[in-house]
Amino acid sequence: MAEQNPAHAAGGPVPGRPGSVAPQVPEPSEPGGPLPPKPDQEGPETVGPTGQPTGSGQDRRAQGGPWLTTAQGTRLYDTDHSLKAGPRGPVLLQDHHLREKVMHFDHERIPERVVHARGAGAHGVFLGYGTATEICKAGFLAKDVETPVFVRFSTVLGSRGSADTVRDTRGFATKFYTDEGTFDLVGNNIPVFFIQDAVKFPDVIHAGKPHPDREIPQAQSAHDTFWDFVSLHTEAAHHTLWNMSDRGIPRSYRMMEGFGVHTFRMVSASGGTALVKFHWKPKLGVHSLVWEEAQLLGGVDPDFHRRDLFDVIEAGAFPQWELGVQVFPDTPEQAFEGIDLLDSTKLVPEELSPVQPIGLLTLTANTKNFFAETEQVAFHVGHLVPGIDVTDDPLLAGRLFSYLDTQITRLGGPNFAQLPINRPHTAVNDMLRDGMHQTAVHTGVAPYHPNSLDGGCPFLAGAQTGAYVETPVAVPAASKVREAPLSYADHFTQPRQFWLSMSEPEREHIVAAYTFELGKCYEQTVKERQLGVLANIDPVLCARVAEGLGLPAPEAAVPLADPEPSPALSQVGGAWPVDGRTVGIVTDGTGDLSQVRAVRDAAVAAGMLPLVIGPSGGTVGSDGDALAVQRTFATARSVEYDALLFAGVPAPAADAAGGGDAKAALPQADGADPRMVLLLGEAYRHGKALGGWDGAVRLLEAAGVPAGAEGIALGSDGTEAFDRLARMLPGHRVWRRFGAD
Ligand code: HDD
């Protein structure tokens, strides 16, 4: 028998039902205490229309019992042959299994997200430090409170099947399943946005997506419409500069920062308010690919980031980020040090307002089913919990509308909150009813409030009983206008600050990125207009890009500002944990394999992922001394590794360099497979730590690496070479090879 609703028990018999008298309905806004969740609020996998549990086990809707069945649970004896009139006869219309199987297949796909279609997700846990409690009453931020989370990373422009390593902004969306309701922090890896007002969002996306006539290029900003838009809307200069920097091509999701971008309002238990900006700080530091690597990876391993995330979680090297906030006084101006906090194209330098850590995110589990979890997860900036409120940023206002709206098309109706990945981990007792894909079996007769027929249930909570109460912020008396405030008009000071904060190698990368992207445009006017934008950021930047394009560099059209550089914006420098770094150990099977083993073991002990690369699959070495090979010269490209060590290059011999055409086309080190030389040459060009022993020096020569080059770890044996290599990895790249100090 279904559990009796305690409200009914308290109120006595219900009118309209046999033997009922009018109940004593308590004042709905002041219930005596919180009600337990109604048993009928659950999906059909736990309760059927009869109120009885259905199936058994956790996945009751699917994969229950050992037998193959139809969707109705009827067991099948064959699923490989249509029902036919004889083995060679026509297929019969009455084949209900064929019909059901193909019908379902026909509808397996749902529309991809209109932006952020390509992504990867993982489960984890958030640990509150308690350091935010003074300014925020949200329970999940309290000390030692653990909250389950689901995080989805994404690119913005590409389709679901596009490559991970394209130059683009990355999404960083986190769903906190808190005890007070679900909180979504839907951010990016760049702290500022393209536009200041959501009304332009369709425009900037139309400009960035492939051209409508031929639907190319895929997942790229290197085309005319994108640069046409951003050169005409100069508020985009800041975000675009971040895109053209190394931030646009992260090494992995676990080496990206995340930002809430907008300013939010935090509310304390005593009702005090503060303005905050959210930051995710990766424990492994912020690191990027170099452009050539990113391009090669698009072909070699388009799933590079997705694979990295999945593999490190499987290996137990759980990625971690600290959540932090920059805190600003909640003044009527909503500005800090002259920076308008409601303008999402501006950041507040960390040197002016340090990021204060408030909790730790650890990703601990991969998805079991990509579609059910990563594809169906629905984030929304309006999923807020008591203690966190929105501000009047016009970009945020549009988002508050958009995220619910888009799910109706994408997830096929208004009941997407009932999908397992979207279900809150707290009691739900809403008055939302029916609609497409309704899976709850609601009982009761009065889904409205107040009511007397369901015993007044559900009741309204108050501030003391955990209700979400909007902050009563004063709205200034004003006229309705389609205008931006004057403070939104400065589009160049902060991009200039970003440029001035970069190290020389980072500047070189930025120049190369603009030159590449604009070089892919056909329209001369677009290139010239964008050079005009760059001139307003910095004359050197403009001149260097103009030179690459073969165009004259224009003069700045605005006076150049003189902002203080913000060292926190640069990625170069510092030492970071090396967990999960991939070290390739290249051997052709000759030489002392015990050295390879020693290096492999040392790398594992250091928390890295060593992979032995050999001439072919299987093993290298003699029977008694065989060593397993994880990658082959045919399957390995340097771009998949953070560092490479070379072992076992045989001594020169008159006939040792032979081989097929592919070998002949590449530079030769006597006796070495030319594909080793290719691996080495690329790794050198990409600033990676590399080295080796036992003949590796001849490979370096063959690859054209200058004697005494930076970041080469040579050793008399494997252990010595590895020790030298391991000292370079915390810096991510050998920046000195690119001219950094
Ligand atoms: Fe958005 C998805 C981040 C502005 C409209 N957005 C989406 C996702 C992220 C962001 C990470 C992917 C969520 C997921 O993994 O499912 N978006 C941002 C940030 C913005 C931003 C950081 C600015 C600060 N977005 C923005 C605006 C609008 C949208 C101004 C519309 C007016 N965004 C959407 C959307 C998406 C979306 C169309 C597509 C799929 C979805 O929402 O669920 O509604």
pLDDT of residue 695: 84
pLDDT of residue 58: 47
> Which SS3 state, helix, strand or coil, does residue 555 take?
coil
Provide the pLDDT confidence category of residue 162 given band limits of 50, 70 and 90. Answer: very high
Q: How far apart are CA 737 and CA 573, in angstroms?
A: 13
The yes-or-no verdict on residue 663 having pLDDT over 80 is no
CA of 78 from ligand 1 middle (Å) equals 45
Mean pLDDT, rounded, of the chain: 90
365-376 pLDDT, tens digit per residue, is 999 999 999 999
The yes-or-no verdict on residue 621 having pLDDT over 60 is yes
Q: Give the residue carrying structure tokens 């036919």.
A: 84
121 CA closest ligand 1 atom index: 15
Question: Which of 116, 150, 195 most suits a substitution to test ligand 1, by most atoms within 8 Å of the C-beta?
Answer: 116
Rounded to an integer, the average pLDDT of 235-264 is 98
Third-level CATH fold of 582-738: Rossmann fold (3.40.50)
Q: Give the residue carrying structure tokens 């895929």.
A: 218
Ranges in the chain annotated CATH 1.20.1370.20 = 500-569
Rounded to an integer, the average pLDDT of 197-213 is 97
Q: Give the residue carrying structure tokens 């006229």.
A: 479
pLDDT of residue 698: 87
Is 369 an active-site residue? Answer: no
Provide the pLDDT confidence category of residue 625 given band limits of 50, 70 and 90. Answer: confident
Rounded to an integer, the average pLDDT of 472-501 is 95
C-beta of 399 in contact with ligand 1 (< 6 A): yes
**CA distances in angstroms from 110 to 127, 206, 401, 421, 623, listed in the order given:** 34, 21, 21, 16, 53
Provide the pLDDT confidence category of residue 14 given band limits of 50, 70 and 90. Answer: very low
CA of 115 from ligand 1 middle (Å) equals 7
The yes-or-no verdict on residue 2 having pLDDT over 70 is no
Ranges in the chain annotated CATH 2.40.180.10 = 119-201+249-422
Residue 61, token pair as written in the block = 């809707």
Q: List, in sequence order, the alpha helices (H) in 107-235.
A: 201-208, 224-232
CA of 320 from ligand 1 middle (Å) equals 23
Q: Give the residue carrying structure tokens 């032979």.
A: 658
199 CA closest ligand 1 atom index: 32
402-439 pLDDT, tens digit per residue, is 999 999 999 999 999 999 999 999 999 999 999 999 98
The yes-or-no verdict on residue 60 having pLDDT over 60 is no
* Angle of helix 593-605 versus helix 718-728 axis, rounded to 10: 30
CA of 262 from ligand 1 middle (Å) equals 13
The yes-or-no verdict on residue 560 having pLDDT over 80 is yes
> Would you give the distance in Å from CA 509 to the centre of its chain?
23
Q: How far apart are CA 130 and CA 132, in angstroms?
A: 5
Of 61, 93, 97, 105, the C-alpha closest to 81 is 97
Residue 678, token pair as written in the block = 């290719």
pLDDT of residue 466: 94
- Ligand 1, atom 30, residue with closest C-alpha: 198
Q: How far apart are CA 470 and CA 384, in angstroms?
A: 10
Of 613, 737, 619, the C-alpha closest to 687 is 737
C-beta of 154 in contact with ligand 1 (< 6 A): yes
Q: How far apart are CA 291 and CA 513, in angstroms?
A: 8
pLDDT of residue 461: 93
The yes-or-no verdict on residue 654 having pLDDT over 60 is no
Provide the pLDDT confidence category of residue 624 given band limits of 50, 70 and 90. Answer: confident
Q: Give the residue carrying structure tokens 């490979």.
A: 699
Enumerate the β-bridge partners of residue 278. Answer: 325
396 CA closest ligand 1 atom index: 30
Question: Which of 115, 196, 239, 395 most suits a substitution to test ligand 1, by most atoms within 8 Å of the C-beta?
Answer: 115
Please give the span between the terminal C-alpha atoms of the chain, in angstroms, as a whole number.
75
**CA distances in angstroms from 152 to 218, 258, 376, listed in the order given:** 21, 12, 11
The yes-or-no verdict on residue 4 having pLDDT over 70 is no
Question: Which of 200, 390, 399 most suits a substitution to test ligand 1, by most atoms within 8 Å of the C-beta?
Answer: 399
C-beta of 374 in contact with ligand 1 (< 6 A): no
DSSP 8-state class, residue 465: G
**Do residues 269 and 306 lie in contact, with contact meaning Cβ atoms separated by under 8 Å?**
no
C-beta of 195 in contact with ligand 1 (< 6 A): no
pLDDT of residue 670: 59
Weakest-pLDDT range from 356-360, 612-616, 628-632, 667-671: 667-671
C-beta of 151 in contact with ligand 1 (< 6 A): no
Provide the pLDDT confidence category of residue 39 given band limits of 50, 70 and 90. Answer: low
Question: Which of 305, 402, 404, 419 most suits a substitution to test ligand 1, by most atoms within 8 Å of the C-beta?
Answer: 402
Q: How high is the ipTM of this complex?
A: 0.99
Show the CA angle centred on residue 277, arms to residues 275 and 282, nearest 5°: 150
Residue 63, C-beta contacts closer than 8 angstroms, at least 6 positions apart = none
pLDDT of residue 241: 98
pLDDT of residue 651: 62
CA of 188 from ligand 1 middle (Å) equals 9
- Ligand 1, atom 42, residue with closest C-alpha: 403
Provide the pLDDT confidence category of residue 671 given band limits of 50, 70 and 90. Answer: low
Q: Look at the chain and count its residues.
A: 741
Residue 211, C-beta contacts closer than 8 angstroms, at least 6 positions apart = 217, 223, 224, 225
Binding residues for heme, by number, are 113, 152, 201, 399, 403, 410
* Angle of helix 237-244 versus helix 493-501 axis, rounded to 10: 20
C-beta of 201 in contact with ligand 1 (< 6 A): yes
C-beta of 114 in contact with ligand 1 (< 6 A): yes
C-beta of 187 in contact with ligand 1 (< 6 A): yes
114 CA closest ligand 1 atom index: 39
Q: How far apart are CA 11 and CA 16, in angstroms?
A: 14
CATH number (2.60.40.10, 3.40.50.720, 2.40.180.10, 2.160.10.10) of 119-201+249-422 reads 2.40.180.10
The yes-or-no verdict on residue 5 having pLDDT over 90 is no
> Of residues 5, 97, 123, 188, which has the active-site annotation?
188
CA of 403 from ligand 1 middle (Å) equals 7
Provide the pLDDT confidence category of residue 272 given band limits of 50, 70 and 90. Answer: very high
C-beta of 113 in contact with ligand 1 (< 6 A): yes
Phi, psi of 70 (to 5 degrees): -75, 175
C-beta of 402 in contact with ligand 1 (< 6 A): yes
- Around Cβ 319, how many Cβ atoms within 10 Å? 25
> Of residues 116, 123, 233, 686, which has the active-site annotation?
116
C-beta of 193 in contact with ligand 1 (< 6 A): yes
> Which SS3 state, helix, strand or coil, does residue 315 take?
coil
506-545 pLDDT, tens digit per residue, is 999 999 999 999 999 999 999 999 999 999 999 999 999 9
Is 238 an active-site residue? Answer: no
**Do residues 603 and 611 lie in contact, with contact meaning Cβ atoms separated by under 8 Å?**
no
DSSP for 495-541, please give it.
Answer: HHHHHHHS-HHHHHHHHHHHHHHHHT---HHHHHHHHHHHHHH-HHH
Enumerate the β-bridge partners of residue 181. Answer: 178, 179
User: What percent of the chain stands above pLDDT 70?
Assistant: 89
Q: Say which CATH class 500-569 falls into.
A: mainly alpha
CA of 176 from ligand 1 middle (Å) equals 17
Provide the pLDDT confidence category of residue 45 given band limits of 50, 70 and 90. Answer: low
Rounded to an integer, the average pLDDT of 240-264 is 98
Rounded to an integer, the average pLDDT of 697-723 is 92
pTM, entire model: 0.92
Residue 630, C-beta contacts closer than 8 angstroms, at least 6 positions apart = 611, 612, 613
- Ligand 1, atom 19, residue with closest C-alpha: 187
C-beta of 152 in contact with ligand 1 (< 6 A): yes
> Would you give the distance in Å from CA 548 to the centre of its chain?
33
Q: Which tops the pLDDT comparison, 48 or 578? A: 578
